[in-house]
Structure 1
Amino acid sequence: MLTWTLWSGFIVVLWIYFLWTRRRYYLLTLKIPGPLGYPILGMAHRLMRREDILNAIGYYLHKHGSTIFSWLGPIPFLIVSDPQAIQDILTSPHCINKGIIYQAVDDGAGTGLFSLQDPRWSVHRKLLNPAFGHKVLLGFLPIFNNETKNLLSLLDSLADTGEKDLIPLLQNFTLGIATQTTMGSDVKGEENFESHSLLERYQCVLETMTDMCFSPWLNSQWVRQLLGKEERYWRAKTEIREFIRKLIEKNVLEDETADLAPKDKNIFFNLAIDLLKRGVFSWKNVEDESNVMVFGAFETTANTVYYTLMLLAMFPQYQEKAFEEIKSLFPHNGDFDVSYAETQEMVYLDLILNESMRVVPPVPIVSRQTSQDVRLSNGIVIPKGVQIAIDIFHLHRSKLLWGPEAETFNPDHFLPHIYQDKHPYAYIPFTKGLRNCIGWRYALISAKVTLAKLLRNYEFKTSFMFEDLYFIEDITIKLKSVPLLELKKRK
């Protein structure tokens, strides 16, 4: 028994020594600064809690520079907030694959465009690109307008009644839009939609996936069970999967029985079903891609709209300028339809939306991994198999790139004569390069229609101070304390 204990201890010591030596070798060879961390853990102990992640990374970037190297457990990874290095990575054919932390997304949401590995990703992206073409997006405008009309009727009852948390209302709103534009189904009458239980399930899955991303041991079902996290997570993702499957089966049945003119084949769901019938997609492909599309379409859009309203409430001088621009296009309050041409005339609203996504990027960190050695413009060679965290949050707040007011909200940052001098990868709310977000045009049009109607009809106020905002990494960005908003009716 004693011999076995000694041998076990010796093996553990050897393993720790091997990891430590490997880390030192990487640091000396790559010549990239960064925290060495602890044996076995690396710097994982600093990233275990979602509310600590952005602050911890910001601390190390400030201490070591805009490109740093460290370890997440036994995994070597690079953290990058330098725009040229980010451009090198996002445009490299050897950095197309998402990082291994997105295995958590595969588990929670399904293996779709968000996390597929190349070459499968390239195939799926090419097949699904038509679903986000300009003509298809224009066809969504009646849905955007109609759903915002319904939202206005709900908000009317909240006007002049004090500060409220509008995020659940906006998430329900964008989830209703997402299911119609991607799946062709209006789900507002569904029981789990009306009771908000579906939103709770999505938030549970999102939070658990984030924990799994930054604490790799939580990818083990056994560990999650031991920590009491598995049952709630399993129930949440099962209910979401059943919800998506029900929508698919309902639409397939309607397609088979309807005696109507053919539907637009480029609508996402119709495109996916056509690929299924042709044997290009499996049933699992359709479910996974549908789940990922709905997830991505509603969560980030709801947050972007809310955070924009929140920032305008904190900086009323910019809200008034936006209101005057929108009022010049729509003289009368109440409901009105917003055309695509009118969204292009909202020049100041463009500045505001861009600045909102700079200060509060929809996704604060994205990850890639190298499939071959990659040489950056600064001469650094990233070895094959290294994980890369692209820190959009601190990139967008760099005073070297954005000036002394980088950490505050000022739409003037995007005035043409100022923005034209910025590095092309200094602002990447939807990422850029070979694997940019497929739905970025969808998100912008939807957000502008919504914001135009809300800002024309209401003035937004808050007692929460900008300086008290505390940001949390949650795959999508979240706030530790969500500012409440007060609505005042406009004339």
Structure 2
Amino acid sequence: MLTWQLWFALLFVIWIYLLWTRRSYYLLTLKIPGPLGYPILGMAHKLLKRENVLKEFGYYLQQHGSALFSWLGPIPFLIVADPQMIQDILTSPHCVNKGIIYKAVDDGAGVGLFSLKDPRWSVHRKLLNPAFGHKVLLSFLPTFNDETTTLLQSFDALVGDGEKDLIPLLQSFTLGIATQTTMGSDVKGAEIITNNKLLEDYQCVLETMTDMCFSPWLSSKLIRQLYGKEKRYANSKLEIREFIRKLIERKLARDAQETELDNQKQDKNIFLNLATDLLKRGVFNWKNVEDESNVIVFGAFETTANTVSYSLILLSMFPQYQQKAFEEILSLFPDRGDFEVTYADVQQMVYLDLIINESMRVMAPVPVVSRQTSEDVLLTNGIVIPKGVQIAIDIFHLHRSKSIWGEDAETFNPDHFLPHNFQEKHPYAYIPFTKGIRNCIGWRYALISAKITLAKLIRNYSFTTSFKFEDLYFVEDITLKFKTVPLIEIHRRTC
């Protein structure tokens, strides 16, 4: 008679056999190559360290082509860096939902536009689209301009003080803008913002969410407590929530006191006005307003800060392109110092467009995005992705593919976006804010804000660095980060 230990061993062997058979079946059915990985683990062990994720993706894509299939434990997993396959996926109604990796975002930031499942996502997106309409974005220009005045003062204080990490300063700047443009201009001067406590809280939450994404066991509160990560994380989430809750309560109290005429004068499409109006109409509940507010502030400041920071880093490494950008801006703004940038000015900054686009190509703001199939999905190449497959869209390596961008794909060259070089590219060869059904709601906001900020900085300062482009090592951190942050020295322009 078999002992329980032998029964357990036999069942374990059968489970491993079935799992391996299932893996082989998927590979044969999909006709997409890829590593089987180890029993049970698949290739999960390769992705435990976030600094290795992009390196490992690049290695396997080089070995197997622009798409590969493997496993994360028992979960079928597709990595894609082919523009046509990406278009098929991002435009499919059966690939709208984010991947399971984003459960960590739900815990840290709330269940909002970033991670909501369809059909709730479609409803929220339609309701919140007006908050980023063209007219609303134009109304933000005074805030963008006013806040850069303070930023110029901060940069002035750093002139001649050696190489510095400018990312924290730019994050503080963009967080100030994000809170004002989404939650109302009267938040300016709030102590939690001026003392950088809100920024520290958001950074703590982002760091813990990333840990949870790449170390799933940290999704357990108990495990986070054992690792000493839970207390600060919980406090940061609480402080962010309290800050947002107070803004919502103040807005509702003010609405109750104002006359109907006063309410008519407000722009109901400003995010907080729009969200609280949906609350009063019973379309949103209180948690919807809190979650969406939290997610929208988070997304608005983080991506804009990175776009500006990484553009300055690259311009410091490639001074010939910095000079060309300066000459364009000089032609628009002949005088140094602070100046007002209009929307017409933004439209005329053609070379700065090339700079920003190339920066986001070489350093994709979000290097990998995830989707999952809610039904079988037929691709144009005839392959059917089964229901329940997790898909990683590798934007980082898509943007650096030599077959798309040429032999200099992995270096910085704004000429990649000159019309005669770019117009023949596949429409999904360049997707810094993704594309398709679930593209980023705030992509125009980020670009306008970044262009105004960069224009004023490049007009007033030049930037240098001793850090070499070839020494950059990128880390997957939900948003793109560096293993070692390049430091920049600021020089005041004399003309």
> 2: distance between equivalents of 1:383 and 1:227?
37
CA offset digits 1:70-113 (Å, max 9, x no partner): 11121111000000000111111111111111111111100001
Pairing 1:273–2:276 present: yes
Are 1:48 and 1:211, in contact at CA under 8 Å, matched by a contact in 2? no
| Larger deviation, residues 11-20 vs 28-37 | 11-20
Pairing 1:406–2:412 present: no
**Residue 481 of structure 1 corresponds to which residue in structure 2?**
484
Q: How does 1:204-353 map to 2 (within 5 A)?
A: 204-258=204-258, 260=262, 262-353=265-356
Pairing 1:459–2:462 present: yes
Give TM-score, length-normalised by structure 1.
Answer: 0.97
> 1: distance between equivalents of 2:176 and 2:247?
13
> 1: distance between equivalents of 2:483 and 2:201?
19
> 2: distance between equivalents of 1:108 and 1:13?
38
Q: How does 1:308-457 map to 2 (within 5 A)?
A: 308-457=311-460
Are 1:174 and 1:298, in contact at CA under 8 Å, matched by a contact in 2? yes
Are 2:61 and 2:68, in contact at CA under 8 Å, matched by a contact in 1? yes
> 1: distance between equivalents of 2:176 and 2:148?
11
Are 2:473 and 2:483, in contact at CA under 8 Å, matched by a contact in 1? yes
> 2: distance between equivalents of 1:109 and 1:481?
27
**Residue 51 of structure 1 corresponds to which residue in structure 2?**
51
CA offset digits 1:369-388 (Å, max 9, x no partner): 11111111111110011111
1:136 Cα deviation from its structure 2 partner: 0.4
Pairing 1:65–2:62 present: no
Pairing 1:33–2:33 present: yes
**Residue 102 of structure 1 corresponds to which residue in structure 2?**
102
> 2: distance between equivalents of 1:213 and 1:245?
27
| Larger deviation, residues 55-64 vs 32-41 | 32-41
| Larger deviation, residues 191-200 vs 381-390 | 191-200
State the secondary structure of the residue aligned to 2:127: helix
> 1: distance between equivalents of 2:200 and 2:72?
30
Classify 1:162/1:219 alpha carbon distance in 2 versus 1 (closer, same or farther; 3 Å).
same
Classify 1:183/1:486 alpha carbon distance in 2 versus 1 (closer, same or farther; 3 Å).
same
**Over aligned residue pairs, what C-alpha RMSD do you find?**
1.5
**Residue 125 of structure 2 corresponds to which residue in structure 1?**
125
Equivalent residue pairs, number: 490
Are 1:352 and 1:411, in contact at CA under 8 Å, matched by a contact in 2? yes
CA offset digits 1:124-176 (Å, max 9, x no partner): 11101111100000000000000011110111111121111111111110000
Are 1:47 and 1:215, in contact at CA under 8 Å, matched by a contact in 2? no
Please, which runs of 5 or more residues in structure 1 have no aligned partner? none
Are 2:180 and 2:188, in contact at CA under 8 Å, matched by a contact in 1? no
1:229 Cα deviation from its structure 2 partner: 2.9
Are 2:416 and 2:422, in contact at CA under 8 Å, matched by a contact in 1? yes
**Residue 156 of structure 1 corresponds to which residue in structure 2?**
156
Give TM-score, length-normalised by structure 2.
Answer: 0.96
**Residue 193 of structure 1 corresponds to which residue in structure 2?**
193
> 2: distance between equivalents of 1:283 and 1:416?
47
> 1: distance between equivalents of 2:152 and 2:365?
24
Classify 1:341/1:216 alpha carbon distance in 2 versus 1 (closer, same or farther; 3 Å).
same
> 2: distance between equivalents of 1:42 and 1:211?
20
Q: Between the two proteins, what is the percent identity of the paired residues?
A: 76
Please, which runs of 5 or more residues in structure 2 have no aligned partner? none
Are 1:44 and 1:214, in contact at CA under 8 Å, matched by a contact in 2? no
1:233 Cα deviation from its structure 2 partner: 2.2
